[in-house]
Amino acid sequence: MTTLVQIHTESFEPKIVGFLCNWCSYAGADKAGASQTPYPPNVSVIRVMCSGRVDPQFVLEAFHRGADGVMILACHPGDCHYKEGNYRAVQRHRILLRLLEQFGIEKERCNFDYVSAGEGDKFVRVITEMVSTIKALGPLRLAVPAE
């Protein structure tokens, strides 16, 4: 039994949806690409103009559709291309975590972080850490079956 679980965890490749703002985080991901630093392929990127566009329902929908984790990456405080969209995003994220916990979704599955256009190395680090966190948590199992 123990062996079976272990095998399962090792072969588990989490599906993670990453919302990246166009101006900082997406550019940070490009920077990581330009320096050709490898990182796990588990995060699929959705580009939004601003992290402030990330509606909490997108996150819920991603979990509902089978995502094991969701990331929202924003400009650093004070650097938002739209002045304060990242502040809205971080506020929503904090409230969203409380809701997720009520659904039994661990808060580690929904990560918010700041990645600037110059931080290719930080992008690689947050992606790598998120993938290993979700691998450790295992697949998301929702009490209500998905459609």
Partner 1 sequence: MKVGLYFCTCGTNITATVDSDKVIAELTAQFPESYASKVEFICSAEGKSFFKDDLLTHRPDRVVIAACSPREYENTFMQILAEAGINPYFMQFVNIREQVAWVTPDPAEATQKATVAIRSAMARVCLQLPLEKKELEANGDVLVVGAGPAGLQAALFLAEGGRKVVLVEKSPAIGGMPVFFEELFPTMECGPCLLEPFEEQVLHGDYAHNIELLLLSEVTAVTGYYGNFNATIRQAPRYVGHTCIGCGMCVEVCPASASNPFNCGMDEKKAIAMPFLGALPNFPYIDPQACIRTSGGDCQLCLDACPMPETVLLDDKERIVERKIGAIILAIGSKLYDCSKLTGLGYGEVPGVFTSLEFERLASSNGPTGGEIKTAAGSAPGSVAIIHCVGSLDAKHQPHCSGICCEYAFKFNRILEHKLPGTKVYHLYKEMVVAGKSDFTMLEHAQKNPHASFIRYKDITEIKITAAPDGQKIAYRGANGQEESFTTEMVVLCPAMVGSDDAAKLGEMMDLSRGPAGFFDDLNGRLHNAQSKVKGVYLAGTCQAPMDIGQATGRAMAAAGYVLSGLAAGKKLVIEPISAEVDEERCSGCRICGNVCPYKAISFIPESETSRVNALLCHGCGTCVAACPAGAIQGNHFTNDQILAEIEAILQ
Residues that bind partner 1 (CB under 8 A): 15, 17, 22, 26-27, 29-30, 32-34, 36-39, 41, 44-50, 52-58, 61-62, 65-67, 81-85, 88, 92, 124
Q: In the complex, what is the shortest distance from the CB of residue 8 to partner 1, in angstroms, rounded to a whole number?
A: 19
Of residues 2 and 45, the one with the C-beta less far from partner 1: 45
d(CA 86, CA 106): 23
d(CA 34, CA 93): 30
- The distance between the two most distant Cα atoms of the chain, rounded to a whole number of Å, is 53
Q: In the complex, what is the shortest distance from the CB of residue 124 to partner 1, in angstroms, rounded to a whole number?
A: 8
Q: Can you say whether residue 54 is alpha, beta or left, with left for phi > 0 and alpha for psi between -120 and 50 degrees?
A: beta
Q: In the complex, what is the shortest distance from the CB of residue 67 to partner 1, in angstroms, rounded to a whole number?
A: 6
